[in-house]
Chain A
Amino acid sequence: MSNIPADLKYASTHEWVRDEGDGTFTIGITEHAQDLLGDMVFVELPEVGDKVSVGDDVAVAESVKAASDIYAPISGEVIAINEDLEDAPENVNNDPYGDGWLFRIKAEDSGELGNLLDADAYEASIDED
C-alpha cells in the first residue's frame, strides 16, 4: 500500500500540499505518483516569483517512462524551489514527501485548501484508478 501521510492535503492529480503554518505551502508529488512514473530523470520547476493559479501546469516531472505535468494545487506566488532536484531528481522517488519536495507557494487564499482531498479521500481516489 502506498504511503499517504495523514497530515497532508492532496490534489486528485497526485500533488501533495503541506501547510507550513505561515501562509506558505510546500508541494510535491505523492509516493503513488512517483511509483507510477518510475525513475525520475529531470524535474522542470517554476521560477521563484512566478504567479500561479490553481490548475496551471507549473512543473514537469520527466521519468524514464513519461513526462508528466504537475499542476498548481493552490494559487499564489512561488517563493522557493527545490534546486537540489537539478542534480538529484531521484530524491522524488526516494523521499517524495521529504527531500523530493518541488516548490513552495505563498497562498493568495488559503481557503482554497478546503477544495483539496484529505488522505482518506486521496486514497479512495487512487483505489478507483
Chain B
Amino acid sequence: MGSRTPLYDAHVEAGAKMVDFHGWDMPLNYGSQIEEHHAVRRSCGMFDVSHMTIVDVAGQQAQAFLRYLLVNDVAKLKTEGKAQYTSMLNEQGGVIDDLIVYHFSDTSYRLVVNSATRERDLGWIEKVAADFDVTINERDDMAMIAVQGPESEAKLNAVLSSEDFATIEGMKPFLGKQVGDLFIATTGYTGEKGYEIIVPAEQVNDLWKQLIAADVAPCGLGARDTLRLEAGMNLYGQDMDESVTPLESNMGWSVAFEPTDRDFIGRQALEQQKQAGHHKLVGLVMEDKGVLRHGLKVIVDGGEGVITSGTFSPSLGFSIAMARVPANVGDTAQVEMRKKQVTVKVVKPAFVRNGQSVL
C-alpha cells in the first residue's frame, strides 16, 4: 500500500481506478479519462494534487537563498502572492526538479515541488539552506485541489462565501492569495484558466464535496497527463530529469541569466552549454492513425532524438508528443512506430490553450 492523500476514500467512493504514482495511491480515472479531459477543456474539472510537496521558506536571507537555489530570479517578484515557474539544478546543470515559487515578501516564500522527487528535493533544499539564515518548513498539514477549466471561476463563486469570492474575483494569472484558511492561486497544469487551492488537510474533504455538488468533474492522472501535454508543459522524470538541463528541456525561458552578477547553482554549466550548443525539446504532431509514445526513436536530418512524452490528444483528435532532438531539426521528422516509419510535423511544444488548437 502506498501513501494516501486525505481524499483517498472520496476517490474510491467515486469509483476511481487507483494506481501507484511514485509511492502514492492516486486516481487514474473515474471511468473515462477522455471525458474528464473534455470536462476541463469545456467546463470544469478538479484534481487531487495533495501528493505534491509544499515547502515554506522564511527568514532574513530567504530571498538570497532562493536567488542561489533557483534558476529564475525571485527578485523579479514584487507583488505579494506573485508566482514564478522555476527549477533547481545540480552543479552540472541537471534538473533536480521544476517548481512554482510564491512570493509573500522578501523574507517569506512558498515552494510547490513534485511528489516524485520529494526526498531528493527536501534533502537538497536543506543542504543548500545550511549556509543561509532561513527556516524550511514542509507543510504536510496541507492538502491541495486543482480546479481547472473555463468555468472554474463560476464554480468557485458557487462554493466560496461572497466575501471570500470577492477577494479573488478577476484575479490575474500566476497570483496567489490567502483567503481565510485557503490559499488560492491562479495556476495550473492544464493550459486552461483555473486555480490551485491549498487547504488544511482536515478541510479538504468538505471542499471536495462542495465542488462535486457544484458539478465539478473529478479528474484523474490520465486526464492530467493529456491536458498538460496538450498545453506543452513538462512532466518531471519524463521530459526532464537530472541528466538534462533546462536549456535542453524547453525551460530556457525560465532561466534568468540577467543580472549577470547573480550566482545560482548550475549557472556555470548552463553558460558553457549555451556556448557549446545543445539538443532541444520540440513538439511533434502526427495526423495519421496511431499514437506517439514515450521512448520512440525520432530521426531528423543529421541525427536522432527520442520522444519524451507522447499521447493521443483528445482535443485535437490525433497524436502529439514532445521529443528531445538535435537543435538543427527541420519542419518534419521520422518516427519509428510499430512496423513502420512515419513522417511527423515538428512544431513548438504547445498544442492546445484555452480550449483552442494553437497549431
Quick one: given A38-B222, A41-B312, are A62 and B33 in contact (CB under 8 Å)?
no
Question: Could you mark each residue 90-123 of chain B with 1 if its beta carbon is under 8 Å from any beta carbon of chain A, else 0?
Answer: 0000000000000000000000000000000000
Chain A proximity of B346: nearest CB distance (Å): 22
Quick one: given A64-B311, A90-B34, are A38 and B291 in contact (CB under 8 Å)?
no
Q: CB of A67 within 8 A of chain B?
A: yes
Tell me if A62 and B34 are in contact (CB < 8 A). no
B29, B293, B338: which contacts A38 (Cβ < 8 A)? B29
Chain A proximity of B19: nearest CB distance (Å): 11
Residue in B28, B29, B34, B338 with the greatest tally of chain A CB atoms within 10 Å: B34
Chain A proximity of B123: nearest CB distance (Å): 33
Tell me if B34 and A42 are in contact (CB < 8 A). no
Tell me if B291 and A42 are in contact (CB < 8 A). yes
Tell me if B290 and A64 are in contact (CB < 8 A). no
Q: A35's closest neighbor in chain B, by CB?
A: B17
Quick one: given A64-B226, A64-B311, A67-B338, are A39 and B34 in contact (CB under 8 Å)?
yes
Tell me if B34 and A64 are in contact (CB < 8 A). yes
Question: Could you mark each residue 39-60 of chain A with 1 if its beta carbon is under 8 Å from any beta carbon of chain B, else 0?
Answer: 1011010000000000000001
- Give the distance in Å from the alpha carbon of A60 to the alpha carbon of B29 in the complex: 23
- Give the distance in Å from the alpha carbon of A62 to the alpha carbon of B33 in the complex: 15
B28, B29, B222, B291: which contacts A67 (Cβ < 8 A)? B291
Residue in A62, A64, A90 with the greatest tally of chain B CB atoms within 10 Å: A64
Q: CB of B289 within 8 A of chain A?
A: yes
Question: Could you mark each residue 26-39 of chain B with 1 if its beta carbon is under 8 Å from any beta carbon of chain A, else 0?
Answer: 00110011100000
Residue in B28, B222, B291 with the greatest tally of chain A CB atoms within 10 Å: B291
- Give the distance in Å from the alpha carbon of A65 to the alpha carbon of B312 in the complex: 9
Question: Could you mark each residue 277-293 of chain B with 1 if its beta carbon is under 8 Å from any beta carbon of chain A, else 0?
Answer: 00000000000011101
Chain A residues contacting B29 (CB-CB under 8 Å) are 38-39
Chain A residues contacting B33 (CB-CB under 8 Å) are 38-39, 64
Interface residues of A, CB < 8 Å — how many?
13
Q: A86's closest neighbor in chain B, by CB?
A: B289
Quick one: given A38-B222, A41-B312, A67-B338, are A62 and B32 in contact (CB under 8 Å)?
no
Q: B291's closest neighbor in chain A, by CB?
A: A62
Tell me if A42 and B222 are in contact (CB < 8 A). no
Q: Name B110-141 residues within 8 Å CB distance of A.
A: none
Q: CB of A93 within 8 A of chain B?
A: yes
Chain A residues contacting B311 (CB-CB under 8 Å) are 64
- Give the distance in Å from the alpha carbon of A65 to the alpha carbon of B34 in the complex: 12
B28, B32, B34, B289: which contacts A44 (Cβ < 8 A)? B289
Chain B residues contacting A42 (CB-CB under 8 Å) are 289-291, 312
Question: Could you mark each residue 20-52 of chain B with 1 if its beta carbon is under 8 Å from any beta carbon of chain A, else 0?
Answer: 000000001100111000000000000000000
Quick one: given A64-B226, A64-B311, A67-B338, are A39 and B32 in contact (CB under 8 Å)?
yes
Chain B residues contacting A39 (CB-CB under 8 Å) are 29, 32-34, 222
- Give the distance in Å from the alpha carbon of A37 to the alpha carbon of B101 in the complex: 37
Chain A residues contacting B222 (CB-CB under 8 Å) are 38-39, 64-65
Q: Name B61-83 residues within 8 Å CB distance of A.
A: none
Q: B311's closest neighbor in chain A, by CB?
A: A64
Q: A41's closest neighbor in chain B, by CB?
A: B312
- Give the distance in Å from the alpha carbon of A60 to the alpha carbon of B338 in the complex: 10
Q: B289's closest neighbor in chain A, by CB?
A: A42
Chain A residues contacting B226 (CB-CB under 8 Å) are 64
Q: Name A93-125 residues within 8 Å CB distance of B.
A: 93
> Which 7 residue pairs are nearest across A and B when measured between Cβ atoms?
A41-B312, A39-B34, A42-B289, A62-B291, A39-B32, A39-B33, A64-B312
